[in-house]
Chains A and B, each alone.
Chain A
């Protein structure tokens, strides 16, 4: 069993295996389920991710009525063809928003690692899959890559906004997605770990202060930010850029920052964006 990123990467390197294989091995050992069963369980998660990525693009409205329809706008923007960046980045943005809009409508999603951050990982995996022309089965395996890093982060820090702020949710999701993207693109375990660390560093200190306590504003757009950040970190890692702070130290710094974060900024909607005039107005209106 790997306890930190160092051990995870070492195991992959010494056994000359993909990171996802190390995660699959650990899971089969832990649960005494066959490799086939574990993979088919992950395929179910992948299918839910895909359908939620497509559903929001058609246009959904949140349970509260506060948000919705933005994934559709981005999708139409892509179709118009007049964009500034790579369409894959925009695809990731539209999927990330789509999934989190579906989440806010109390639709079906797969938490990864949480519901509030559920758009990031699928958005990146699906967009990179399109770019590389990878088949579903192969793309889905990289959810284990992301899961391996998420497992380490969750056990050594936290993954809930109430415990560690948004850095623990979108930050973790972005870090997991960055590592998955690197492995999908043929990067090494070492590069995947650097992408994870760089993505997480860029998200350190993010607070969890959503309007009226709802998983909508700023969460939905922050899923887009997490996905873009993951792709950028993956590209840097594939270019050979490395994190100056060692991988596991970045994770422990996320933990330390979360511990120092005041409770008003940890999913209590008592400060920050939630305490703005607009935030108060929505709270009044909805609760």
Chain B
């Protein structure tokens, strides 16, 4: 199911003019910010397909930056977000890409702060609903609707079972799970969506487990 809730259809309440090109980018920006967990110094947004052709008219630029500033889809400050970002010292670049994407509404965001870097690719599928499709080069499926944890780990046996049983012991139900890797035996990424939020203590416990490199939470 691409759409789960009636409020995916009757909603979101938002600043116009486009749910896929304005509200969607706000949500993509929000997720990027939550994944990065800091105010970036530099943001590069690459726009593909319909986004590339129409982003200015749909205010997708102010929308995605609004999201990165943690605004909601109905925040009246969205139209001024580029000015606000400049005032905050965030260096913002938009690049219109020629490549034809798999989904017509695709954007990639690179954020940096000092040595920290985050790259995501995301699609806006309509009605303000978005999906993150890539994280630091890893393909992933993440709705952004449920609490989620992203676990970077060494690609060896037993890691997935270890994390899953740790969640089970804490009575957390896994609603969706996906594992991807770029090369066998190297770094892998486990994406786990859960019905319940995952506590900081549990995140720390998972981070300390053997073969775990980094854990990112996306609690709602």
The yes or no verdict on A and B being binding partners is: yes
The reply on B139 being an interface residue by CB < 8 A is: no
Contact with A along B1-26 (1 / 0, CB 8 A): 11111111111111111111111000
Residues of B within 8 A of A112 (CB): 9-11
B residues sitting closer than 8 Å to A (CB atoms) are 1-23, 49-50, 53-54, 56-59, 74, 76, 78-79, 103-105, 124-128
Residues of B within 8 A of A114 (CB): 18-20, 126-128
- Rounded to whole Å, the gap between the CB of A30 and the closest CB of chain B is 6
Contact stretch, chosen from A9-17, A41-49, A69-77: A41-49
Closest residue of chain B to A24, judged by CB?
Answer: B6
The reply on A59 being an interface residue by CB < 8 A is: no
Contact stretch, chosen from A84-92, A158-166, A194-202: A158-166
Please state if B105 and A160 are interface contacts (CB–CB under 8 Å).
Answer: yes
The reply on A168 being an interface residue by CB < 8 A is: yes
Please state if B16 and A110 are interface contacts (CB–CB under 8 Å).
Answer: no
Residues of A within 8 A of B54 (CB): 213-214, 267-269
Interface size on A, residues (CB 8 A): 61
Contact with B along A39-68 (1 / 0, CB 8 A): 001101100100000000000001110000
- Rounded to whole Å, the gap between the CB of B99 and the closest CB of chain A is 13
Decide if the interface of chain A is mainly helix, strand, loop or mixed. Answer: helix
Of A38, A102, A108, A267, most buried by chain B (CB within 10 Å of CB) is: A267
Closest residue of chain A to B52, judged by CB?
Answer: A268
Q: Choose one: B8, B19, B53, B56; the contact of A270 (CB below 8 Å).
A: B53
The reply on A116 being an interface residue by CB < 8 A is: yes
- Rounded to whole Å, the gap between the CB of A54 and the closest CB of chain B is 16
Closest residue of chain A to B73, judged by CB?
Answer: A111
- Rounded to whole Å, the gap between the CB of A35 and the closest CB of chain B is 13
Closest residue of chain A to B54, judged by CB?
Answer: A213
Please state if A154 and B17 are interface contacts (CB–CB under 8 Å).
Answer: no
Please state if B3 and A111 are interface contacts (CB–CB under 8 Å).
Answer: no
- In the complex the two chains form, what is the Cα distance from A101 to B3 in whole Å? 27
Q: Choose one: A23, A154, A263; the contact of B104 (CB below 8 Å).
A: A263
Residues of A within 8 A of B124 (CB): 160
Please state if A107 and B15 are interface contacts (CB–CB under 8 Å).
Answer: yes
Please state if A45 and B11 are interface contacts (CB–CB under 8 Å).
Answer: yes
